[in-house]
Amino acid sequence: MAEIDRIIHAPARLRIMSALMALQPGTQLDFRTLGRTLGLTDGNLGAHLQTLEEARYIKVEKSFVERKPRTDVAITSRGRTRFEEHVEALREICRVPNSPNL
C-alpha cells in the first residue's frame, strides 16, 4: 500500500515536486522560472529546495550562463518514485476514506 510522503506533503514542496514532475525525465528547470510560476519568493523556494535536495528527491546544479549565475533544478528518479507513491496514496484516500496511509 502506498504511503503519504512527509517531505512532499508540505504544500510548497508538493507544488515544487508537481511542477518538476510535469517535465520530461532528465529536464532541468531554472530556479527563477520555478519560483515565478509557483509564486514563491527566492528565500522560501531556496529553503524548500534544500529540504528536497537533502532527501535526494531533487538535484540542484549551479552554473554561469554569459557570466550570470544560474541555478537549475531537476527531479531525481528517487524523487519521481516517491512522488508517484504519494499521489497513489492520495488516490487511495479518495477511494477508501479511512485508509491507514499516514
Find the binding residues for another protein in span 1-40 (CB under 8 A).
4, 6-7, 9-10, 14-15, 18-19, 21-24, 26-30, 32-33, 37-38
Phi-psi region of 98 (alpha: psi -120 to 50; beta: other; left: phi over 0): alpha
Residues in the chain: 102
Q: By CB under 8 A, name the one of 54, 56, 78, 81 that touches another protein.
A: 54
The nearest distance, CB 45 to another protein, in angstroms, is 14
Size of residue set near another protein by CB under 8 A: 38
CA dihedral 33, 36, 12, 62 (to 10 degrees): 30
Q: Is 49 in the site for another protein (CB under 8 A)?
A: no
Q: Is 42 in the site for another protein (CB under 8 A)?
A: no
Q: What is the CA radius of gyration of the chain?
A: 15
Q: Which run of H or of E encompasses 68?
A: strand 68-75
Q: By CB under 8 A, name the one of 2, 12, 60, 74 that touches another protein.
A: 74
Give me 29's grid cell. 528547470
Q: Is 76 in the site for another protein (CB under 8 A)?
A: no
